[in-house]
Amino acid sequence: MKKYGKSAKKGFTLVELIVVLVILAVLAAMLVPALTGYIARARQEKDYQMAATALTAAQSAATYQYSIDSTSNKINKDTSAGNGQNVISLIGDPNNKISAIDFDVNANGVITGGYVTINGYKYTYQPSDANDMWKAEKASS
């Protein structure tokens, strides 16, 4: 005698599998742009921190230049910071992401402003602006 009702076969139908795949595809489509945004912000934050490190290294070079009675009023990535090191070697930029450093120095050896270009973005430093000391903008080519 044949049994009616439940089948002895177990498993998912093709339609059920397709529905699950469609749901996964929709979730992935929503997740990828969000992750891309997080990655871009993380890279920008890393570059911002590198700009802050460049400022510290430039201030070290400015102090060294002032200590040897140099009349230098500009600091760039090749300016000596003492002990045979220049600004770029103090920063430690193994991937050569920094393409330009240019800081102005007053007569007392204090940085009064300038910029660092990292990964095609120009990070401008103005110490008089207490709320937003760094401004980032796409560097002009």
The pLDDT score that the predictor gives to residue 11 is 85
Residue 82 lies in a domain: yes
Handedness of CA 88, 93, 96, 100 (dihedral sign): negative
Give the pLDDT of residue 115. Answer: 92
Residue 88 domain boundaries: 14-138
**Partners of residue 34 on adjacent β-strands:** none
Residue 32 lies in a domain: yes
Determine, yes or no, domain membership for 7. no
Within a domain: 84: yes
The pLDDT score that the predictor gives to residue 81 is: 84
Q: In which residue are the tokens 């003492």 written?
A: 82
5 domain-assigned = no
The answer, yes or no, to whether residue 14 has pLDDT greater than 90, is yes
What letter represents residue 127's amino acid? Answer: P
Look at residue 80 and tell me if it is in a domain. Answer: yes
Evaluate whether 118 touches 88 at the Cβ level (below 8 Å): no
What does the pLDDT look like over 91-118, one tens digit per residue? 888 888 898 999 999 888 888 899 999 9
pLDDT mean over 20-39: 91
pLDDT confidence bin for 6, thresholds 50/70/90: low
Report whether 122 contacts 102 (CB < 8 A).
no
Can you read off the two tokens belonging to residue 89? 């070697």
6 inside domain: no
Calpha distance 108→110 (Å, rounded): 6
**pLDDT at residue 107, rounded to an integer:** 85
Per-residue model confidence (pLDDT) at position 119: 87
Q: Note whether residue 91 is domain-resident.
A: yes
Query: Domain tally for the chain?
Result: 1
State the pLDDT at residue 20: 96
Look at residue 140 and tell me whether its pLDDT is greater than 70. no
Task: For 41-86, write each residue's pLDDT tens digit.
Answer: 898 888 888 988 999 899 988 888 888 876 678 898 888 888 888 8
Q: How many CA atoms lie within 13 A of 14 on its CB side?
A: 0
